[in-house]
Amino acid sequence: MSAKLTFLGTGTSQGVPIIACECGVCQSPCREDKRFRASAFVEYGGLNILVDAGPDFRSQMLAARIRHLDAILLTHNHKDHTGGLDDVRSFNYIDKKAAEIYCEARVLKTLKNDYAYAFEEHKYPGAPEWHVHLIDDQPFRVDSLQGTGQLEWVHDVGYFYRQADGSLQPSDNAVVEAPRENPNVIPIRGFHDQMPVLGFRFGNIAYLTDMSRLPEEELAKLQGLEHLTLNTVGYHPHHSHFSLYEALDLAHVIGARHTWLTHLSHAFPRHQAFCEQLRALCREKGIRSEVLPAYDGLTITD
């Protein structure tokens, strides 16, 4: 089963350019130097899967002309990865389905704080409709939306679910455990400072972001990759992200054919210069993976 991943955002939490910054990278006219907040769109086994829905979600959906999402997987609870979830309302309306969100219990706890209005018993009409599927570090299954209840918008009243007998039931803010049989997604446990976060493997593509540490026991899940994505925000050691040199070391250890860097900041040079710098570093250090910066709109296939 082939996997295809499109980078919808490859920027650090502030994006690039950074508001009011006059540095050469933030002022670059090149398309590759304009980075939305980190997010990836994965087409896998007939499913449209989004990894993270940060503050640029709406612009990313429009730029990539995405018409339909089967699932939204969240790596962790930071706003640059969850801040766009209110905008699933457009998909609620078009698809007549709740958005299917897959996240860990600790992430759900934050969502309930950040988006209290989406979890109220008597919701404001038009608040986003979400189904939450709880996951952890064990493989789980993502399915298509077909088969879940159909949402109906009742003007000025809100969303309801049409039942088999024709009656309408109010939305239930369901939280369920993600199914584990016939898994199609392999989570990878990493740490963002001390905070546990998840990366995800789809076929021979793995997407890891917002990590500063990857426990050795996770490496077995990353064998035989065609494409690996790793996060880095700069050259110097950082408490919550890999430094560039840590990312290069990890790229070498994992040995995917290609390694793409994401969550990039303006600390790195403009795209072309950064590509040349990485090629030189890989040659010099004998890294057994082709390491390059990802950019918004880049598509990779395994």
Applying CB under 5 A, does 210 fall inside the site for Zn ion? yes
Q: What letter represents residue 270's amino acid?
A: R
* Dist. CA 256–CA 204, nearest whole Å: 9
**Does the footprint of Zn ion cover residue 195 (CB under 5 A)?**
no
Please tell me whether residue 131 binds Zn ion under the rule CB under 5 A. no
Q: Is 62 in the site for Zn ion (CB under 5 A)?
A: no
Closer residue to Zn ion, CB minimum distance, 104 or 129: 104
Shortest separation between residue 197's beta carbon and Zn ion, angstroms? 7
How near is the Cβ of 264 to Zn ion at its closest, in Å?
Answer: 11
What is the C-alpha separation between 33 and 31, in angstroms, rounded?
5
CB of 42 to Zn ion, least distance (A): 18
Binding mask 223-262 for Zn ion (x = CB under 5 A): ----------------------------------------
Query: Min. distance of Cβ 111 from Zn ion in angstroms?
Result: 15
Closer residue to Zn ion in complex, CB, 22/181: 22
Cα(299)–Cα(7) distance, integer angstroms: 6
- Per DSSP, the residues of 41-94 read EEEETTEEEEE---TTHHHHHHHTT----SEEE-S---HHHHTTGGGGHHHHHH
> Least separation, in Å, of the C-beta of 203 and Zn ion?
24
Residues from 141 through 170 that contact Zn ion (CB under 5 A): none
> Of 76-105, which residues contact Zn ion (CB under 5 A)?
78, 80
Give the number of residues in contact with Zn ion, rule: CB under 5 A: 9
Contact range with Zn ion by CB under 5 A, out of 11-19, 89-97, 134-142, 151-159: 11-19
CA dihedral sign, ordered 110, 88, 138, 206: negative
- Whether a cis peptide bond, with omega within 30° of 0, leads into 128 is no
> Under the criterion CB under 5 A, does residue 23 sit at the interface with Zn ion?
yes
Q: In this structure, how many other beta carbons lie within 10 angstroms of the beta carbon of residue 272?
A: 13
In eight-state DSSP terms, residue 140 is B
Cβ pair 204, 3 in contact under 8 A: yes
Q: Dig out the tokens for 174 from the structure.
A: 């369901």
Closer residue to Zn ion (CB): 23 or 116: 23
Does 21 sit near Zn ion (CB under 5 A)? yes
Options 158, 266, 282, 287; binder of Zn ion; rule CB under 5 A: 266
- For residue 184, the minimal CB distance to Zn ion (Å) is 25
Strands 186-192, 195-202: pairing kind: antiparallel
For residues 228-251, b (16+ Cβ closer than 10 Å) or e, as one string? bbbbbbbeeebebbbbbebbbebb
In sequence order, what are the beta bridge partners of 301? 4
- Considering the complex, state which of residue 47 and residue 230 has its C-beta at the smaller distance from Zn ion: 230
- One-letter amino acid at 166 equals G
- Judged by the rule CB under 5 A, the positions of this chain that interact with Zn ion are 13, 18, 21, 23, 26, 78, 80, 210, 266
